[in-house]
């Protein structure tokens, strides 16, 4: 199941049962950033944490994930309306 809603400070969430939720603000970003957010959450199907193994999964799919992650960190506050 997938849901789009207000998630506070999180861009997205993946529950242990595999339900995905995405923040409404995702629509305000570029397709490149949305792709990163989706890949990030889908990798949680393999690892429900942010260990090195998790980031290795992200890297397999999206080798440039770090620049997209950095974009979110530096620009997310500007998306608050």
64-73 pLDDT, tens digit per residue, is 999 999 999 9
> pLDDT tens across 2-45, in order?
889 888 888 999 988 889 999 988 888 999 999 999 999 999 99
Average pLDDT of span 50-70: 97
pLDDT at 81: 57
What secondary structure, in 3-state letters, does 21-62 show?
EEEHHHHHCCHHHHHHHHHHHHHCCCCCCCCHHHHHHHHHHC
Terminal-residue alpha carbon distance, the chain: 28
Record the pTM: 0.90
Confidence of residue 61 (pLDDT cuts 50, 70, 90): very high
Give me the residue spans of the domains in the chain. Answer: 2-79
Say which CATH topology domain 2-79 has.
Zincin-like (3.30.2010)
Rounded CA Rg of the chain: 12
Query: Edge-to-edge strand order for the sheet containing 12-14?
Result: 2-5, 20-23, 12-14
């Amino acid at each position: 199941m997938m849901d789009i809603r207000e998630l506070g400070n999180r861009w997205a969430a993946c529950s242990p049962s595999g339900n995905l939720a995405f923040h409404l603000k995702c629509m305000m970003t570029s397709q490149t950033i949305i792709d990163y957010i989706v890949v990030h959450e889908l990798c949680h199907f393999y690892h429900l944490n942010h260990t090195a193994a998790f980031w290795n999964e992200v890297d397999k799919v999206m080798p440039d994930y770090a620049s997209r992650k950095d974009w979110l960190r530096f620009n997310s506050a500007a998306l608050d309306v």
